Amino acid sequence: MPALDTREKLAAFGGPKAIARHDPDLFDWPIVTAEDEQAVLEVLRRKAMSGTDVTQQFEREIAAFHGRKFALAHPNGTSALHMAMHGCGVGPGDEIISPSFTFWATCTQALSLGAKIVFAESRPDTLNLDPADIEHRITKRTKAITVVHYCGYPADMDPLLEIANRHGLKVIEDVSHAHGGHYKGRLVGSIGHAAGMSMMAGKALAIGEAGMLLTDDRQVFERAVAFGHYERTRPGTKYCDEPCLTDPDLMKYAGIPMGGVKYRLQQLASAMGRVQLKHYPARLAALQAAMNRFWDLVEAEIPDGVTAHRPPQGSGSDCGGWYFPRGLYDPSKMRGVPASRFCELLNKEGFHAAAGANEPLHLHPLFKDAGCKIEPLPVTESLPGRCFGVPWFKHDHPERIAVYANALIKVARAVRAGEAS
Ligand SMILES: Cc1ncc(COP(=O)(O)O)c(C=O)c1O
């Protein structure tokens, strides 16, 4: 730990800034090398952007990475999750249960399938869907539960699957924040009935605008192919060595996508995806070491009030790519200082922080106007004051990460000592 004095006066009150200059090297991502450039150029020079040969290779590799039978590439995470929902049978008159504390694309596509969204509570310790708040929301119209591994933290899949299986529901994982993460030793994206993930340029596994649907269920795969991948519906089209479509009810519409949408991924992203996926485990290990180092330093100094949003050590669970990383904030341990004020003080130190995460979806007028039954979710509504964004370190430079940890320690100490107002 560098000898920076974390007891100095806060920058907000005229003290020196804890972070004198932003350190862009710590955050540089994705790592793009000549290997990515060569792979993309190969597609470009072949003018094969709209083909599927590279995409199919990428699909096989990412399916194998997750131990899944099927992977179907999409132009973005939104469409991949759309097809996970349709694949799982979500349609007109149905309901899905979703957390409200997430990005809209975890659930909003259900509206375009003619279904309604029923929002459920998330927990303040994990920021994830609360399994204890699901069962009383299930009706005879419920088809699926969508669950996001929010801000990297793996959702509590065991009880969610137990409830879903007992009621004959599907569980759809949104893996957009947690690529390569584990839940009790199992890779996220390989646990639910289907999974969708974003791989847009800002994500941990970043390959441009891209998305992936993963499933072991042939019916989910075939329904997704038939809905939005017309070029794979023609007789003789193969997925690995098997026919893409086997269901006669889907095969009869060969050549025209049943959903009237075209969800083929362009191959420049697939080419980059193959290279990024190959290097992902090693790069992820460095990213995880950096994020854990940051939080270990903070938690060694601050007993409570400001804690890491990460699963306990030894649980077999981890935050994968740590997209959109949060700290948990408990105002009752911080002299009642609101998270927004705490973040103001951090920003003055040169530590970029914002209170909350995504705005709770159930408070947005869209869902009520679309006919969803909206109920108050008091826990979810409290969450924007119970968490805050922290820097997303990608590279493990101990001395430089300690500067950021010290800034957080400095502000947390001052707030706890009553020096914040
Ligand atoms: C949780 C979550 N789900 C889905 C998506 C949608 O992915 P995309 O932007 O690739 O459509 C995002 C994108 O940020 C996300 O954060």
Q: What is the pLDDT of residues 54-83, one digit of tens each?
A: 999 999 999 999 999 999 999 999 999 999
Q: Does the reported pTM lie above 0.85?
A: yes
* Atom from ligand 1 closest to the CA of residue 211: 10
Given 274, 291, 320, the domain boundary residue is: 274
Cα separation, 188 vs 191, in Å, equals 6
Q: Where are the alpha helices (H) located in 355-397, listed in sequence order?
A: 365-369, 378-382
Same domain for 87 and 179? Answer: yes
Cα separation, 86 vs 143, in Å, equals 10
pLDDT value at residue 8: 83
> What are the pLDDT digits (tens) for 402-420?
999 999 999 999 999 998 8
pLDDT value at residue 306: 98
Same domain for 366 and 261? Answer: no
Closest-CA residue, ligand 1 atom 7, reads 77
Same domain for 372 and 406? Answer: yes
- CB atoms inside a 10 Å sphere around CB 16: 12
173 lines ligand 1 (CB under 6 A): no
Omega of the bond leading into 30 within 30 degrees of 0 (cis): yes
Q: Are 302 and 330 in contact (CB under 8 A)?
A: no
176 lines ligand 1 (CB under 6 A): yes
pLDDT value at residue 421: 72
Domain at 363, CATH number: 3.90.1150.10
For residues 312-329, average pLDDT: 97
> Ligand 1 test: best mutation among 198, 205, 212, 265, most atoms within 8 Å of CB?
198
Using the structure block, give the residue that is written with the tokens 């975890």. Answer: 106
Q: Does residue 6 surpass a pLDDT of 70?
A: no
Same domain for 23 and 45? Answer: no
Percentages helix, strand, coil for the chain (3-state, rounded to 5) are 40, 15, 45
158 dihedral zone (left: phi>0; alpha: psi -120 to 50; beta): alpha
105 lines ligand 1 (CB under 6 A): yes
pLDDT value at residue 5: 66
Domain count, the chain: 2
Distance 205 CA to ligand 1 centre (A): 12
Instruction: Classify residue 2: in a domain, yes or no.
Output: no
76 lines ligand 1 (CB under 6 A): yes
Q: Does residue 7 surpass a pLDDT of 90?
A: no
Q: Share the mean pLDDT of the chain.
A: 97
Distance 77 CA to ligand 1 centre (A): 5
Cα separation, 53 vs 166, in Å, equals 40
For residues 345-366, average pLDDT: 98
Q: Which two tokens stand for residue 173?
A: 């994982």
Domain that holds residue 378: 11-31+280-416
For residues 124-138, average pLDDT: 98
